[in-house]
Structure 1
């Protein structure tokens, strides 16, 4: 009309191309090289499928990995053999380290499977695709150096705690501090086997944590961009909502594919962590007055170590579920769709909310108990307190004159 210029709305949101894909070196940092120390890096098995010249090296790698797994199984068996009378200190200490020994077996099998099946490269390929759907580029969430630093600090604590217990026990010529004296080859070998176990558990938990951290970061950033679009009243543009809907669908696919691999750890590991945690709390609550200070201090630090592993097993997967559900909060707070007459727009809005609230992408412990913020908080409250309950039972039995 007249001298007025026609205002044309963009038909779609311009999606920037991510020019530099996230690499394994950036994602894993130094841990990509450290995994070779475990003997469970079976990347060559995956590469040998497309490169016949690597078959001999792949066979040697498989044999080495099997030998490592045999050693880990042997260590776990020795810890179970140290068991004493029910509710005794030896019984509890053996349970702590034996159940965490099974946890080590799970971690070792996961490292073997994840490297053999190229889980990390596959995850990064899908993650880079989702990164390309961002509205604005964000280099901060692609920088995992802070996560690597935290992982090194946790690793140092884990190594120091377990190795102190193993070396202290070996000095007493035992497998565990309250156990019986064993033959020289066993108590000499246990610190070295424990060192191997420390590497396996550390790297498995860190790999698991990094994958979940990448999911949480990407979903959280999606929610931030969605919230920004809501505040700027851009969601009533069908093309904008369509882009967000497509990106959300890709995020759910990313989570589902990641969970297919991570579930090999997360569906079983919490059970052994909680068993270890219950017995560690039982020792701290029931024997604090009857143990030498040095022994009690070592066992107390092992309690903190078991709690840390349990926390790092549940919290990462719980965070992913929190951010997936948080998308619905952002959309429900929007007033743009209350009186809309555009049925297609409202349908897309409902699809996103339903996808956020009714999805089935949770990891389930033993195939039944889903890991999300509510269940995690309940579990972290109930299971440690079962250790206190055991300590109370022991005190009652001792007061009744029953020798334990």
Structure 2
């Protein structure tokens, strides 16, 4: 079990949240999903606005999931390709609504400050997230191009989908505006997810570096040194469990809908010989965007698990502990190992599939082949006189 912390309460202010989120803290304020207002009146109002926005993103799903063609037709695949990621947009709205309402950023930063105070040697470089802020802003540009390109192309042609029927102006404007909004909130949502995951990974990795150094200097058998590492490890795992409780709302659902959309995107490539070149490029760019977004969601929890495995290896591959005659040292050593092995720090997709390097590698093999399987089914239908 994770032990309760006995650390003193450290001073904390909103500057820590600003350091972690950077400009995205201000972007969040105007997202219409920020429910962090401190006064009761403002809190009720922002929550009502947030609920309305969540409902709108849910309504968007029904519009995009409408299909105008037979199964295995181009319009069927197109609706699935853009429709399932629409569920992901709904998930992003729920995440931002819940995260701000529960004060995730400020609570996480308080725990982060506690962990930083336990470092053996101060390392201010680990606390600088400016490069990540810049990268997040840069990567939001191609994400914007991907989300807006297909709807603008089809809007000009009087449709929502290239293979679908003509739609009224109101429906097209609704999807155009909500696409822009989904780009905005999904960018913020992913940025917060990445920043917090990065903070976790940095702390665990730095913990490993200092633990390895103490091991090499043979100071771990000093009970004072070992207890500090023990307490720090406990705080890191507490912070990880706390963060995962919220971040899993994105990491546990977004990959499922994005990757299923990707399966249908691969299926759409079988129609490229009859599709305009420009629209083929747009579809290909959207597939690339989905792949990169899925990778950005999956890599941080995979990296965290590898860092925790490294912690376990550093402790286990230490024969001196097995031979120690000090019962307190050995007991503390065993607690640290048992804590790592018994506490589940995984983020799981739909509370079932843990996001690890193994499952990530399996997905990179299975997902493309599901798309090719759909192509084979379509070709079989056509070969037997059917239509697709």
> Same fold by TM-score, threshold 0.5 exceeded?
yes
Report the counterpart of residue 362 of structure 1 in structure 2: 346
Conserved? CA contact 2:35–2:101, under 8 Å = yes
Q: Decide which of 176, 190, 202 is 2:161's aligned counterpart.
A: 176
CA–CA distance in 2 between the matches of 1:336 and 1:176? 66
Superposed, 1:105-184 pairs within 5 Å as 105-184=90-169
- Runs of 5+ in structure 1 lacking a partner? 1-14
1:359 CA displacement:
2.1
CA–CA distance in 2 between the matches of 1:214 and 1:341? 37
Q: Decide which of 311, 314, 322 is 2:306's aligned counterpart.
A: 322
1:384 paired to 2:368: yes
Change (3 A) 1:247 1:77: same
1:300 paired to 2:284: yes
| More displaced 10-residue stretch of structure 1: 272-281 or 97-106 | 272-281
TM-score (norm 1): 0.89
Paired residues, number: 380
1:210 CA displacement:
1.2
CA–CA distance in 1 between the matches of 2:188 and 2:317? 40
1:18 CA displacement:
9.1
CA–CA distance in 1 between the matches of 2:235 and 2:47? 35
Report the counterpart of residue 21 of structure 2 in structure 1: 28
* Residues 125-184 of structure 1, C-alpha deviations (whole Å, 9 max, x = no match): 011101110000111111001111111122111111111111111011111222111011
Report the counterpart of residue 90 of structure 1 in structure 2: 75
Ranked by relative contact order (alpha carbons within 8 Å, sequence separation 6 or more), the top structure is 2
CA–CA distance in 1 between the matches of 2:55 and 2:351? 27
Q: Decide which of 209, 218, 226 is 1:224's aligned counterpart.
A: 209
Root-mean-square deviation (CA, aligned residues, Å) is 2.0
SS of the residue 1:288 aligns to? helix
* Residues 193-218 of structure 1, C-alpha deviations (whole Å, 9 max, x = no match): 10011111111111111111111111
Report the counterpart of residue 30 of structure 2 in structure 1: 37
Report the counterpart of residue 191 of structure 2 in structure 1: 206
CA–CA distance in 2 between the matches of 1:333 and 1:153? 42
Superposed, 1:219-298 pairs within 5 Å as 219-284=204-269, 286-298=270-282
CA–CA distance in 1 between the matches of 2:339 and 2:115? 17
1:79 CA displacement:
0.4
Conserved? CA contact 1:18–1:131, under 8 Å = no
Report the counterpart of residue 379 of structure 2 in structure 1: 395
1:313 CA displacement:
1.9
| More displaced 10-residue stretch of structure 1: 105-114 or 352-361 | 352-361
1:381 CA displacement:
2.3
Conserved? CA contact 1:18–1:132, under 8 Å = no
Conserved? CA contact 1:325–1:357, under 8 Å = no
CA–CA distance in 2 between the matches of 1:362 and 1:168? 41
CA–CA distance in 2 between the matches of 1:72 and 1:114? 17
Change (3 A) 1:357 1:200: same
Rg (Cα) greater in structure: 1
CA–CA distance in 2 between the matches of 1:128 and 1:231? 27
CA–CA distance in 2 between the matches of 1:83 and 1:403? 14
| More displaced 10-residue stretch of structure 1: 238-247 or 316-325 | 316-325
1:64 CA displacement:
2.3
CA–CA distance in 1 between the matches of 2:116 and 2:10? 7
CA–CA distance in 2 between the matches of 1:165 and 1:227? 51
Change (3 A) 1:18 1:322: farther
TM-score (norm 2): 0.93
1:19 CA displacement:
9.0
Structure 1 stretches of 4+ with a deviation exceeding 6 A read 17-22
Conserved? CA contact 2:12–2:110, under 8 Å = no
CA–CA distance in 2 between the matches of 1:65 and 1:254? 27
